[in-house]
Amino acid sequence: MGDFRINYGRALGRMNNFYARTDGLAAVGDTTPDVTDIGLLYTNNTSNTSISYFDVRSPQGNNTQRGWFEGKELRVIFLDDSTTLVRSNQMLIDGGNATFGQNAVLDLIFHNSAWIEVARSENQNLITATSASLGVAGIVNVAGNKTIVLTTFTGSSAILRRALKGDNGDILTVIGAGGSNSLIIFNSATAADCFVCTTSASSTQYQLAPNEAISFIKNDTSWLEIRDVVP
């Protein structure tokens, strides 16, 4: 008999889960974690990992008799920002492949040998990027994020060059929130994860004024401008 838990509300996982033990923690780099005996899974990958399926095993010890698990519910908590779920006929997540940010949560249900997304909560929808945090490289990680607020100190340009870990179809909005006009989006179609600003007056940069915003959609390896908003 497993652990017996008394509480004042529904709780997933075993008692003291992730407090005194690591039940439900997927192995680093595991692309098909086994969830036969759990309903709560944690990921904590240290490098980019693409999960294609959540394995389930029948009592015979194989994963061919998946009908045993019809209706099984699974909740995934992402402790990292390096885990991508790959959409397929057996991983029916909303949209295309999805890279989740830290503390994002995904709910799935098992039907006809496929995992179907029920709901998700991406709890990091806002990034504040400064000239100091961007540095010379101008790189920001947007896994699970949809909005970047660019801020800067007077006389110090905040230059955004690349947005990493976005997935095809993701919409990303960049808002200028500085006290000067030195908020720059580097315009380039030649490198992966870079921006293509079609309304830019310059072939190399788009200057974002305070309280101005511009949105992009991820297409293949580039972020393509879809609209700008000028107050």
Tokens of 59: 């009592």
CATH number at 225 reads 2.60.120
**Full domain range(s) for residue 180:** 126-229
Q: What is the pTM of this model?
A: 0.72
CA nearest to 101, candidates 150, 45, 168, 162: 45
Evaluate if residue 5 carries a pLDDT over 90: no
User: Does residue 51 or residue 143 have the better pLDDT?
Assistant: 51
Mean pLDDT calculated for residue range 51-63? 83
Distances 30 to 35, 45, 63, 108, 223 between C-alpha atoms, Å:
12, 9, 16, 18, 29
Average pLDDT score over residue span 144-167: 80
Residues 42 and 146 in one domain: no
Residue type, 206: Y
Q: How many domains does the chain have?
A: 2
Q: Which of 101, 123, 145 is the last residue of a domain?
A: 123
pLDDT category of residue 27 using cuts at 50, 70 and 90 = very high
180 or 208, higher pLDDT? 208
Residues 85 and 164 in one domain: no
Does 103 have pLDDT greater than 70?
Answer: yes
Q: Annotate 156-176 with three-state secondary structure.
A: CCEEECEEECCCCCCEEEEEE
Looking at residue 101, its pLDDT comes to 84
- Using the predicted structure, report yes or no on whether residue 87 has a pLDDT greater than 70: yes
Alpha-carbon span 222 to 231, nearest angstrom: 26
pLDDT tops 70 at residue 202: no
Q: Residue 45 has what pLDDT?
A: 95
Q: Are residues 211 and 140 in the same domain?
A: yes
Are residues 96 and 193 both part of a single domain? Answer: no
CA–CA distance, 208 with 180 (Å, rounded to integer): 9
pLDDT in the model for residue 155? 62
Residues 113 and 54 in one domain: yes
pLDDT on residue 25 = 92
208 pLDDT band (50/70/90 cuts)?
confident
Domain end residue (candidates: 99, 123, 147): 123
Of 97 and 62, the one with more pLDDT: 97
- Same-domain check for residues 220 and 137: yes
Shared domain for 87 and 161, answered yes or no, is no
Q: Do both 33 and 110 map to the same domain?
A: yes
Q: Which of 123, 151, 172 is the last residue of a domain?
A: 123
Higher pLDDT, residue 140 or 23: 140
Same domain, residue pair 107 and 199: no
Please say if the pLDDT value at position 231 is more than 70. no
pLDDT single digits (tens) 113-136: 999 999 998 776 788 888 888 888
For the ranges 14-18, 57-61, 106-110, 188-192, the maximum mean pLDDT occurs at 106-110
